[in-house]
Amino acid sequence: MTLACPECGAPAPRGAVAGRAYACPGCGNPVLPTEREARAPAAAAAPPPVESGRRRRTVGLALAAFFVLGAAYVGVYELLTAESKRELAELERIHGADVVTAPPPGARPAADDPAALRAWNATRDRYEVRTRHETLTSRTGWFFRGMLAAFAAQTLLTAWLAVKALRAPSPRR
Ligand SMILES: [Zn+2]
């Protein structure tokens, strides 16, 4: 039990006794103290417990969105890179996987040396295949990184929405 001002509720100053008037430090009025239940300081209103059912639904929705969107991103990636991958496989089937290390042709030999010219043409052609292979590989690489970045942003958004939904006060029934 504590003593407090009946007017403004301010706690009575130390030494105040029930039944004896005192000047209230809160409102300044001369008041007789009233006894009041000592209340523990009001703990910050904890958010109402999120019903486990709503939490499970929200988390379930977020996970479903994660997997469905993930599958969609993989699908779009495969779609966008299908042509490039097909051509890459074809290049490797025809020219061998080591085409990626084909050396550049260097300087063109004189026209009066047909054997050197033939060898140079073959080197040049092979190097062009290598260049094409590199272009296709970098294109699929860019698509992959783009999809990954988009999916990461999407996942962050989904997580943020889920956290927001979980933190939102449960609707009154
Ligand atoms: Zn008062």
Residue 156 pLDDT: 92
Q: Is the pLDDT score of 42 beyond 60?
A: no
What residues have CB less than 8 Å from 88, skipping those under 6 apart? 133, 136, 137, 140
CA 32 to centroid of ligand 1, rounded, Å: 10
Q: How buried is residue 50: exposed, middle or buried, by Cβ count under 10 Å (0-12/13-18/19+)?
A: middle
Cα(45) to ligand 1 centroid in Å equals: 26
pLDDT range class, residue 25, cuts 50, 70, 90: confident
Q: Report how far ligand 1's centroid is from the alpha carbon of 46 (Å).
A: 30
Query: What's the mean per-residue pLDDT of the chain?
Result: 86
Tell me the CA–centroid distance for residue 115 and ligand 1, in Å. 111
Residue 72 has pLDDT above 80, yes or no: yes
| Cα–Cα distance, 123 to 109 (Å, whole number) | 12
Cα 109 to the center of its chain, rounded Å: 56
Q: Is the pLDDT of residue 19 over 90?
A: no
Residue of higher predicted confidence among 135 and 167: 135
Task: Tell me which residue of 110, 109, 92, 93 sits closest to 101, measured CA to CA.
Answer: 92
**Residue range 117-156, pLDDT digits in tens:** 999 999 999 999 999 999 999 999 999 999 999 999 999 9
Q: What is the pLDDT of residue 39?
A: 57
pLDDT attached to residue 171? 66
The domain limits of the chain are 1-44, 52-167
